[in-house]
Structure 1
Amino acid sequence: MTSVRYIAIFIIFIVYHSSVQSQEGSGKFCIDAEPLCGSGLFFYPNTSGFNLAENGPDYGCLFLALNPAWFYFQIDQPGDIQLQIEQSTVLGNIPDLDVDFILFGPFTDPRSPCISDLNADKIKDCSFEVDFVEYVNLANTIAGEYYLLLITNFSLDSGFITVTQTAGEATTNCILVEEPIVMESQACTDVIQTLNASTANATHYQWYQEDDEGNFIEIYSEGTAFLDVSHEGIYKAEARNTSNVVIEHYQFNFSFLDSSPLEINAEVVSNTFIEENNIEVTILDDSNDIYDYSIDDGPWQQESIFNNVSMGEHQISVMNSTGCRIGSTRITVMDYPLYFTPNGDGFNDTWAITGQDDLQATVAIFDRYGKLIKQILPNSSGWDGTYNGTQMPTSDYWFIVSYIEPRDGLRKQFQAHFTLKR
């Protein structure tokens, strides 16, 4: 170990370049440690200059932790493991730059130890030798354990650091450096969405949510494969086996769909009293979408026209392709009943034209000889089958309705007959 090295405090921010296997060596702080896969080889461009490691951890033998790069790895197959760390000015050339390291562990996860658990009791290996090649030795590892490795560039010069597993039957969990399975998940606003990370051979799961600073914070989820979410954001899940080894990991990009109400219009597109009643629905919206239509909570259809609609008030509903945007309106179809039975049983006891108020219509009822029996004004309850308090007999009666046609705004008249049944 070297006897004298100098100390200075000078902190700057460094921007790193990318390298193989997704590691960039950009984890300047423990909490930002990158996953390390030691079953093969990887390299990254070092941090040069005079950058001190964060305060807090016990750096053991490291007299000065310069130009730090934090990594973590999880043991997959248990046993001994040896990692070779070397640093060179030119990638692939003979090592020629001083490199040091310290290894902490074991831990149950790679993040929580960064807060307060990097102390002397957790140091497993450390070197501050003036060497261009260092060896990390770790014996008797157990599957599922995590370790934190800090690599420093004491030389201050720019170059490349290479890490290789050179000995030992133990392996690290390389799934940690693979790209996660990305899933896009969407739901209507204010609807709880269940994320599903089910994985074969997994016994429990660990969930994380990205915070405002881009860090992933663990979520308590009872270890299940499912997570109910009600807030937009990025979520991650780790599927683990009985040894607590991560066997798959996922990323869920969750967002809300547009759930604003649809503005719609419905109108009768057939001539009143003359044709069967047809209703056409129009979407008062700029979005280019596919819509389904329903009348009176009936089955959905893709056609925007409802044919042969019965008289009376109807509810028209429209839903977009995601099912999140829904609009509804009510419309009254004006028509007249062919008969009524004023017998006091509560059914068809009066005769009236449905929608009379909307059409500003007045109705005059005559007997078969042309005698005016009743005049029905807007807002009237209809004719109860009497004339001057006397019940009129079963017969056909005629009516003339004067109304404003909704389709063109013109005042028109319509004449027809209906039956009073006793």
Structure 2
Amino acid sequence: MIFLNLTVLKLQAQLGFCSGNSGDPIFTETFGTGTTSSPLPSGTTTYTFSGGSPSDGFYTVSSNSNWFGWFDIDDHTGGDANGKMLIVNADYTAGEFYRTTISGLCENTTYEFSSWMINLLPNTSSCPNGGIPINVRFEIWDNTDTNPLASGNTGSINGTSSPNWVQYALVFQTEPGQTSVILKMLNNGVGGCGNDLAIDDIVFKTCGDTVTIEDASNSTNAYICEDQFPFSTQLTAIPDFAIFSSHFYQWQESVDGINWVDIVGENNQNYTTPALNNTTFYRVLVAEDVVNLANSSCNSSSEIFEIRAITLPNAPASNGDLMVCQNDNTPLRVNVPTDVNVNWYDAAVGGNLLQTNSTIYNPNGVAGIYYAEAETRLGGCLSTSRTALEATYFEIPIVTDETLEFCENTTITLSANPTNPGIVTSYLWSNGAITEQIDVSNPGAYTVRVNSGTCSVTKTIQLNQIDNPVIENVTSDGNEIVINATSNTGNLLYSLNGNIFQPNNTFFNVDGGLYTVYVKDRDCSHITTQTYLHFYIPKYFTPNNDGENDAFDLKGIEYYSSSFVSIFNRYGKLLKSSRNRPFSWNGTFNNELLPTDDYWYIVVIDGQRFTGHVTLKH
């Protein structure tokens, strides 16, 4: 028969917590406090009491669990010194080890039973496979012990590496006319090496719907500024129907949110408050049956709806007016309590909102009077006045950094050159000068501090030198003269007469001779010069008296210290020769013009010999 009842119980319920709103505890078992062990009341257990370490089939109620290598733990109940717990060492036969009767319940009411439990044997013990796990079955029976109401199994709870209290719960409903139940705990496992447990904090609570209270704006609280009192509003209780299928109400009020009194005659889902003048709390008691409404063991309470009176904040405390230079980003600043925000306006009343929720405001150089208003974070209550703060900005000199160039071996004038010189009171250069302008002749970075009373700025001038050009070399390429020069700008001009300059470093069709080469930077007056002897041997000449290439001229040969020139025909006949003087041949021999042909030359200049041929063309 017992086996059949247990089978039915397995089908009826399982462990789980109240899915709605749990009320205050109506029954609590903490097993007391003290340093001595004491037995349970007669009839509570079939196990044998032990005043010391409990062997298999024994139990104790103790604040100590330091036996058999178990965890040495405190009980679960918080805040009690030497709190006790029920400690059970499983019997070798599975079965019931604890029962107690819970009275004062209400009929047709849903309750939640819960208890905390721990496996006392660490998983590091020497028992095979970490020890026999604990496995407990909770059962709720009617007071006749003949009708099961609910049950559930914890399943196997293995040992852990550190103590681990776990809460288990079971939800059940009383039947019509039923005001008490029997709680039973059964051990599904057997004794041996393991199955050692402790139980604490057995609690019974009502289980009802979660009920919220909302006002007409769907808010669950109301923060009202003190200048808006008297204040009244309509409240509505909203159950979630998680547990109850029907609802009966009793509205309550409180001045502190702790002590509650019924509001006589207010038993509807809606309630309109009277005209209030101070903070008041409201809640509603809810039961599924009207007969249970007045019994705290049978009803549950809603969430609390608070109507809080918010004191108007004082105007923000000023940190002082602002008197700074135009380029100073220091903000205006005020102080308020931590539960107050600050909003900034451009007028003492009304005006434009400039910034919200900040104790600082940066005018960004715009002078004027700004106004800070306090606003409570709860209720948005405003201070009755705004705090005025003035921002004054002093004009600063306006300067512009520069990068300048100057020519080598010259002097340049540097100027602070403020665009508003009328406000300037003094200057201070990095070289110690105190004038608006200075003359310098060295490259580098120069700074000048420009002051106007309390404000000042610094101007930086980067001065770069244009170096004088350097002639690296001058070469002749046929009748061309090529000048190679360097500078740090590359803006060079070239000349062969010192008057006409060109950007091209090559001069074309230049007669041989002694020249002075001129090089200068486009932006500077300094000219670098070098003397150059331009000499080349023409490849052909045309003695037709047209004024161009009429003779084989070796111009410039006369500037060498020694020279010798000989002209031959293809048969080796000497046609003309010259030594240490200018040389020019018009293509004749014995005053007769020779025919078109190639004629050979030997030119020796300062011991250097050149041979080749020149073409005579008609």
Q: What range is the shorter-chain TM-score in?
A: 0.3 to 0.5
TM-score (norm 1): 0.36
Which structure has more RCO (C-alpha within 8 Å, separation ≥ 6)?
1
TM-score (norm 2): 0.27
